Amino acid sequence: MPSSKMPRKPLISRLRLSQLELLAAMDRTDTLSAAAREANLTQPAASRLLRELASNLRVVLFERVGRTLQPTAAGRALIRRAVGLLAELDRTQDEVEAIHGGLIGTVRLGAGVSSCYVVVPTALKLLMEQSSEIAVSIREGAMDELLGRLRTGQIDLVVGRFGREQDLSDIQTEDLYRPNVVAVCGVKHPLASRRSLDWDQLYEQPWIFPEAGTAMRSAIESQFRKNRRRPTKALVESSSIQANVALLNSSRLVWVLSSDVATYFARLGALHVLKVEQLPAPGAFVLARLSDRRLSPAAAKLADCLRSAGRL
């Protein structure tokens, strides 16, 4: 007996670009009116587009909750995919324009703050030496933000150090390198001239603590537990590298930092690496990509350079 079910039309045939732009705007705003303005639509036109889309898909996409319009599970899925599709179109446009300008491709890299001082610049230097026709844009930020951008297709690769609480079920990662943790101070700190130190001597100093919940904070807390002692003065809690380096040179403070980043600033004369036992790395700097997305040749080339930089 023949089925009475109507054949499904491909989703692409029922979507309009204006609907995709509106859905993506709804991901960035709190209200439909704000999303409509961002998509250059009137609110009645935006409402009509959403009604038409729900009717064509034969599914409830949004529900009215008080004065706000809240997406259903289907609506959230469609918004997420709309953001990804538009990001993919943007990347395609960038790549086409790059090729037209004489390049062979573009890459969008997300980088955690610490990785921007050593591994990323080293990798870009290698890339420029090997493939000067590849254009790279870098987005520095917190790892949660960068993972979100990776999932929506706004960036191709992420470099940084992830926390244990982050969901990486859809992310493919590989370790690049594991720098030890060192104690540092300002170049004019009284301890800077000491040829050897132990951690008990550091505990007597005022400290900058790494921000709670970070891998670096976990590393130093482990050392405190091991020694059964901790600093009595810790008035600042910060993971801002630039702010902390400046603070070290205006106050007599002690801090902990990845050895590679500490060496970078020490060579600039911006801080002093204290001669005390180094601590094990709290985790590796990793290279991350979305598991189900194939890298472009340009992104694959940058990934190779990042691997090489991690071995240097």
The pTM (predicted TM-score) of the whole model is: 0.68
**One domain for residues 186 and 173:** no
**One domain for residues 171 and 187:** no
Asked if 196 and 275 count as a contact pair (C-beta separation under 8 A), the reply is: yes
**One domain for residues 230 and 251:** yes
**One domain for residues 288 and 171:** yes
Q: Within a 13 Å sphere around the CA of 141, how many CA atoms are in the beta-carbon half?
A: 14
Residue 133 makes CB contacts below 8 A (sequence gap 6+) with 102, 103, 104, 105
Residue 220 lies in a domain: yes
Say how far apart CA 173 and CA 104 lie, in whole Å: 26
What is residue 43's three-state secondary structure? helix
Residue 94 lies in a domain: no
Residue 235 lies in a domain: yes
Note the pLDDT of residue 5: 47
Domain that includes residue 55, residue range: 11-79
**One domain for residues 16 and 68:** yes
**One domain for residues 15 and 162:** no
User: 124-145 burial string, b = 16+ CB within 10 Å, else e?
Assistant: bebbeeebeebbbeeeebebee
Residue 242 makes CB contacts below 8 A (sequence gap 6+) with none
> Residue-wise pLDDT tens for the chain (312 aa)?
444 444 455 666 667 788 888 888 888 887 888 888 888 888 888 888 888 888 888 888 888 887 777 888 888 888 888 887 777 777 777 767 666 555 567 899 999 989 999 999 999 999 999 877 788 999 998 888 999 889 888 899 999 988 777 788 899 999 999 999 999 999 999 999 998 899 999 999 999 999 887 888 888 888 889 889 999 887 789 989 999 999 999 889 999 999 999 999 999 999 999 999 999 888 899 999 999 888 888 899 999 999 999 998
Q: Which helix (H) or strand (E) holds 116?
A: none
Beta-carbon neighbour count of residue 236 at 10 Å?
15
Q: How many domains, in total, are found in the chain?
A: 3
**One domain for residues 190 and 268:** yes
Note the pLDDT of residue 261: 95
**One domain for residues 188 and 269:** yes
**One domain for residues 292 and 173:** yes
**One domain for residues 288 and 172:** yes
Asked if 162 and 143 count as a contact pair (C-beta separation under 8 A), the reply is: yes
Strand partners, 256: 183
